[in-house]
Amino acid sequence: MTARRWQLAGLAFAIIVVIGVVWALIASHKPPNPHASPASAQVGHQRLAGASAIRGQAVAWVTTEVGRDVSIACDPATCSALAARGFPASNFTMLEPTAPDPYGSVLVIATAAVRSQFGDKLAAVFAPEVIASFGAGPARIDIREIAPHGPAAFRAALSADLTARTLSGVQLLRNSRITVSAGARTLLAAGLIDSRLLTTLAFLAGQHPIDIVAFGGASPGAGLAPLRTVYLTESDAAAHMTSSAYVQSLESVLRVQSQPYVPLTVASVQLGGGAPVLEVEFAAPSPLGLLHS
């Protein structure tokens, strides 16, 4: 009787455990109650809206600032958003979940999905340089430049390029045909100007005297990335030309250049409500090695 009684007790305990497990499974698969937690639903909606807004900012920057001949690695959602904004789909490398790396492209758009896919190697090995960044936290999106020959070679190329840009900037400051504002002088001397812009300014000065008002085009969250935009006065007394003829002459010189010295945009704009200036902008990313190749 004692053994029989223990057998029955064990069976009853097993039945209770099975019933508990079944009820737990049923509870875990209950459809969510839409009225249970409106605060949680609102937080989730806000997160999705915030992530969507950040993606929109990153996509807008790429489609307006990055050269149309630049190859880009991106997750499927971001590639689709870029295509919808008119960026050439032929320049995409869509990063499927099985992709081992983003090599083969110039830039990678590091969304949360891409960071999760490649882990620490994304910043440490594959793409160490951020040329633009949007948002913060898990939804942050970085536009990163890929290091095709590894991070050490890429860092060495960055250092050599900074040195070459600094030397070139100092040479421009010594050019008697170039007038430079105080703020622009500091940036030139620090090597913070894109190498294509430096070469273009030297070439323009060989045609006409020029007056540099300012540099601009800093990318959001990019740190010390070279500035890719210059603002020039639209007249120079030393040129002995009318303002309109002077601007037309500068524009004609700029528009007949060959790659990589073709500007992204050339336009007359106003800075802070002042007199119109000629804006010359080059596309991202800034190439390395042009000044010492």
Neighbours of 169 (CB within 10 A): 22
Taking 50 as the threshold, does the pLDDT of residue 255 lie above it?
Answer: yes
Spatial distance between the Cα atoms of 267 and 231, rounded to a whole number of angstroms: 10
* pLDDT band (50, 70, 90) for residue 188: very high
Report the length, in residues, of the chain. Answer: 293
* pLDDT band (50, 70, 90) for residue 35: low
Taking 60 as the threshold, does the pLDDT of residue 275 lie above it?
Answer: yes
Q: What is the pLDDT of residues 98-123, one digit of tens each?
A: 999 999 999 999 999 999 999 999 99
The alpha carbon of residue 88 and the mean position of all alpha carbons in its chain are separated, in whole angstroms, by: 17
Partners of 211 in beta bridges: 179
Q: What is the pLDDT of residues 198-213, one digit of tens each?
A: 999 999 999 999 999 9
279 Cβ contact list (under 8 Å, min separation 6): 229, 230, 231, 265, 266, 267, 268, 269
Domain spans of the chain, in order of start? 55-148, 156-281
Whether residue 265 contacts residue 258, with contact meaning beta carbons closer than 8 Å, is answered with no
* pLDDT band (50, 70, 90) for residue 21: very low
211 Cβ contact list (under 8 Å, min separation 6): 178, 179, 180, 232, 233, 236
Q: Which two tokens stand for residue 181?
A: 């504002």
